[in-house]
Amino acid sequence: MANIDDKIPAPMITPERAPAVQYSKSYVRYVIGILTVVYIFNFMDRQILSILMQPIKEEMQLSDTQLGFLSGVAFALFYATLGIPIARLADQYSRVNLITICLSIWSFMTVLSGMAANFWQLLAARIGVGIGEAGGSPSSHSLIADYVPVQNRATALGVFALGVPIGLMVGFQVGGWLDQNYGWRTAFLVAGVPGLLLAVILRFTVREPKRGHSQTQAQIVHVDQPSIKQVAQHMRSIRTFRLLCIACALQAFAGYGLIQWLPSFLSRSHQMSSGDIGFWLAMTIGVGGAIGSIGGGYFADRFSRRNIGWQLWLPAIGSLLGALLSFGVLLSDLQASVMVFVLLQSIAVNAYLGPGFAVTQTLSPVRMRAIASALLLFAINIIGLGLGPQVVGILSDQLNPAFGDDALRYAILSVCMAYFGAAAFFMVAGRVVRDDFSRAAVLEAA
Q: What is the mean pLDDT of residues 31-47?
A: 90
- Is 295 among the domain residues? yes
How many CA atoms are closer than 13 Å to the CA of 193, on its beta-carbon side? 7
- Is 17 among the domain residues? no
- Is 217 among the domain residues? no
Angle at 312 between CA 238 and CA 169, to 5 degrees: 115
pLDDT tens string 141-170: 888 888 887 777 777 877 887 888 888 888
Residue 12 has pLDDT above 70, yes or no: no
- Is 10 among the domain residues? no
For residues 118 and 102, give the distance between their C-alpha atoms in angstroms, rounded to a whole number. 25
Asked if 432 and 240 touch (Cβ cutoff 8 Å), the reply is yes
Residue 223 has pLDDT above 50, yes or no: no
- Is 384 among the domain residues? yes
pLDDT tens string 190-220: 999 999 999 999 999 988 887 666 555 434 4
Total number of domains in the chain: 1
For residues 21 and 15, give the distance between their C-alpha atoms in angstroms, rounded to a whole number. 18
For residues 402 and 129, give the distance between their C-alpha atoms in angstroms, rounded to a whole number. 36
- Is 220 among the domain residues? no
Provide the residue range defining the domain that includes 306.
24-209+225-445
Residue 54 has pLDDT above 90, yes or no: no
Cβ partners under 8 Å of residue 343, min gap 6: 283, 284, 285, 287, 288
Across the chain, how many H-helices and E-strands are there?
Answer: 21, 2
- Is 11 among the domain residues? no
Looking up residue 432, the CATH number of its domain turns out to be 1.20.1250.20
Q: What is the mean pLDDT of residues 374-390?
A: 86
Helix residue spans in 271-352 (DSSP H): 274-281, 287-303, 310-331, 335-349
Q: Is the pTM of this model over 0.85?
A: no
Helix residue spans in 206-309 (DSSP H): 228-236, 239-270, 274-281, 287-303
Higher-pLDDT residue of 218, 68? 68
Residue 366 has pLDDT above 80, yes or no: no
Pairing of strands 11-13, 220-222: antiparallel
The residues pairing with 222 across neighbouring beta strands, listed in sequence order, are 11
- Is 13 among the domain residues? no
Residue 253 has pLDDT above 90, yes or no: yes
